[in-house]
Amino acid sequence: MALPPYPASPFPVERTAIVTGAASPRGIGRATADRLASRGWSVVVLDLDPAASSAVAAELQQLHGVPCLGLGVDISDRPGVRDAVATVVAELPQLVALVNNAGVSSPVPFLEVSEQEWRRVVDVNLHGTFHVTQEAARVMASHRLGRIVNVSSASAQRGGGVYGRAAYSASKAALLGLARTLARELGPHGVTANSVSPGSIDTDIMGGPLTDERKEFLLRELPVGRIGTVQDVAAVIAFLVSEDAGYLTGVTYDVNGGSHIA
Ligand SMILES: NC(=O)c1ccc[n+]([C@@H]2O[C@H](COP(=O)([O-])OP(=O)(O)OC[C@H]3O[C@@H](n4cnc5c(N)ncnc54)[C@H](O)[C@@H]3O)[C@@H](O)[C@H]2O)c1
């Protein structure tokens, strides 16, 4: 008996991934961009500072021999995002993957958080992700192939993190719901959507590098006995955007060393 046609198109050899928030030197996005470029992806480093984004893209291109592009874009600015995605389509191979990694945190307790602070966080983490995802997903759907990964946070699942409070957790929880909905809506267009949910990773987002005291505190909650690294997260994202991950969609991957076991 003949099987129904598989909806997605074949995975192209030359393909592009957009990684938002990939210019931070010690960040998850930078590590993800590097890993993807090492696997043959053309990578778009999309971050606030144009010079920093271009510098990272130039470094990746030189290191891995794939065309890369750095763009200075605030993801909460829709026209800027639209132009950026148009540039990617015009200048690089087929857009196949989007990693929604850019984000800001907020340590303000709920009873004290101002509307301005709330909006600052939601504008980037949720609205920014909406802008980039809609622009990129339209391109992916037109090719009947795509991979979307949202970077959420264990903070969304366990009710606040070690640093991020209500605005951050709420915006990161929204990303889990968004990815699940995209999985249903975009599946018929050949596009998968998943989330990674990191626990505490030693980057600068928690107000600077972790002190020994904070590390000791975190280690008490970690069955694997070490703090997470950006490579721990990048490895899972690289798998989720790969050709092999085509049957995974609507899933949340906890990358937390067992600090939160659902
Ligand atoms: N480090 C952790 O412990 C941890 C845990 C869970 C989730 N996360 C998530 O991982 C992602 C990466 O964080 P990180 O730890 O690497 O921090 P980071 O601060 O090093 O990286 C965040 C990046 O996002 C960029 N960015 C911020 N606002 C932007 C905007 N409006 N437009 C474009 N780019 C913008 C920043 O410039 C920066 O390069 C974030 O979404 C964060 O919430 C981090």
Residue 195 counted as domain residue: yes
Residue 8 counted as domain residue: no
What is the token pair recorded at 158?
């366990």
What is the token pair recorded at 33?
């961009």
**Residue 104: CB within 6 Å of ligand 1?**
yes
Question: Containing domain of residue 125, as a range?
Answer: 16-250
Indicate whether 107 pLDDT > 90: yes
Residue 115 counted as domain residue: yes
Task: Indicate which residues carry an active-site annotation.
Answer: 168
CA-closest residue to ligand 1 atom 2: 201
Confidence of residue 6 (pLDDT cuts 50, 70, 90): low
- Ligand 1, closest atom to CA 128? 31
Q: What's the CATH code of the domain at 47? A: 3.40.50.720
Domain count, the chain: 1
CB 217 within 8 A of CB 14: no
At 52-93, the pLDDT tens digits run 999 999 999 999 999 999 999 999 999 999 999 999 999 999
CB 161 within 8 A of CB 218: no
**pTM of the complete model:** 0.97
Cα 247 to ligand 1 centroid, rounded to whole Å: 28
CA angle, residues 150, 153, 158, in degrees to nearest 5: 135
Cα 172 to ligand 1 centroid, rounded to whole Å: 12
What is the per-residue pLDDT for 109?
96
Residue 43 counted as domain residue: yes
Note the residue count of the chain: 262
Residue 122 counted as domain residue: yes
Residue 208 counted as domain residue: yes
**Residue 123: CB within 6 Å of ligand 1?**
no
Confidence of residue 5 (pLDDT cuts 50, 70, 90): low
Residue 4 counted as domain residue: no
Termini Cα distance of the chain: 40
Residue 125 counted as domain residue: yes
